[in-house]
Structure 1
Amino acid sequence: MAASARNDSEILSKAKSRLEEDYVPGDDEPYMSKKQQDYFRMLLLEWKRSIHSAAGVTLQSLQDGPIREPDLNDRASSETDWGIELRTRDRQRKLIAKIDSALRRIDEGEYGFCEVTGDPIGLRRLIARPVATMTVEAQEAHERREKISRDK
């Protein structure tokens, strides 16, 4: 799980670095201005493109890789590696749905505002997690409620 989270953050970092040569949103401009919305739209689209590209590499290596390893230990190791890789891709498939949702919110003018409180989420949080739908406070409250309901 930590490896797939690291992989997601690496993909996002690469997408950000491609965009930040021209513009980085700042607090000195109106919140969710057209320029900021365009920045986040391009960031989300680049992130999505990078995920699709990584999935294509995985698919190609699955097709090219040996189906059966002659040694039992090698076979077990390969199957474990593929299982981890496929779980990572499934996680990223779910992330693409969140990216698509964020793009829809940009189109509808709802992006950057908490779905619970309606308050601005904040540029730093959105830069760190462009698919965020809640402020830090609302997210923490949500996670506390979730934990309490699991513990019962």
Structure 2
Amino acid sequence: MSLTEVHFSSIGGELSKADIQAMPEEDYMNVAQLAFFRRHLMAERAELEAHLQEVKATIASHERDADEADQASFEEELRLSLRQADRESRLIQNIDAALKRIESGDYGYCEETGEPIGIPRLLYRPTARLCIEAKEREERKEHHFRKARGE
């Protein structure tokens, strides 16, 4: 058992962001780190699902309002809520993909280069699939194609 695994098991598996960042580079994506990110992703997923259920309940419980101004106000709020729900649904898909990468052993490694994504980036965006360099290349390509299309 490695020092990290001993530390992980001795505190019940609940590591903080600081604990994760303090680990040496050679411990990258060890059992403790994977468990930390799995818990973090599952918690975020649960929050998103709860919010989506609230949006669905709001839509289902709304009765048409006789007052046109109130109805218009509700429809605008609904439009914004649906846009947010769409973003959250896509984020849930990204979280599910990240959880699958944890299970397969690919989590934390760039899909393009195979290099480590890095703990700081994963703490900021736990669903990241690309290292910073690959992400920047992707964004430059997207910007170039948008510019070429006149967007």
User: Which TM-score tier does this pair reach, normalised by the shorter chain?
Assistant: 0.7 to 0.9
Decide which structure has the larger Cα Rg and report it.
2
Report how far residue 90 of structure 1 moved: 1.1
Unpaired stretches in structure 2, ≥5 consecutive residues: 1-13
Whether the aligned pair in 2 keeps the contact of 1:27 and 1:123 (CA below 8 Å) is: no
Report how far residue 114 of structure 1 moved: 0.7
Deviations 1:18-52 (A, max 9, x none): xxxx3121242400001100111111111111111
Aligned-pair identity in percent equals 35
- The normalised TM-score by structure 1 is 0.81
Deviations 1:93-121 (A, max 9, x none): 11111111101101111000111111111
Separation in 2 of the partners of 1:43 and 1:147? 32
Q: Which runs of 4+ in 1 moved over 4 A?
A: none
RMSD: 1.5
Partner of residue 59 from structure 2, selected from 43, 59, 62:
62
Count of matched residue positions in the alignment of Structure 1 and Structure 2: 131
Separation in 2 of the partners of 1:147 and 1:62? 37
Separation in 2 of the partners of 1:34 and 1:124? 17
Unpaired stretches in structure 1, ≥5 consecutive residues: 1-21
Separation in 1 of the partners of 2:41 and 2:80? 25
Task: Report the counterpart of residue 26 of structure 1 in structure 2.
Answer: 21
Partner of residue 78 from structure 2, selected from 49, 68, 82:
82
- The normalised TM-score by structure 2 is 0.81
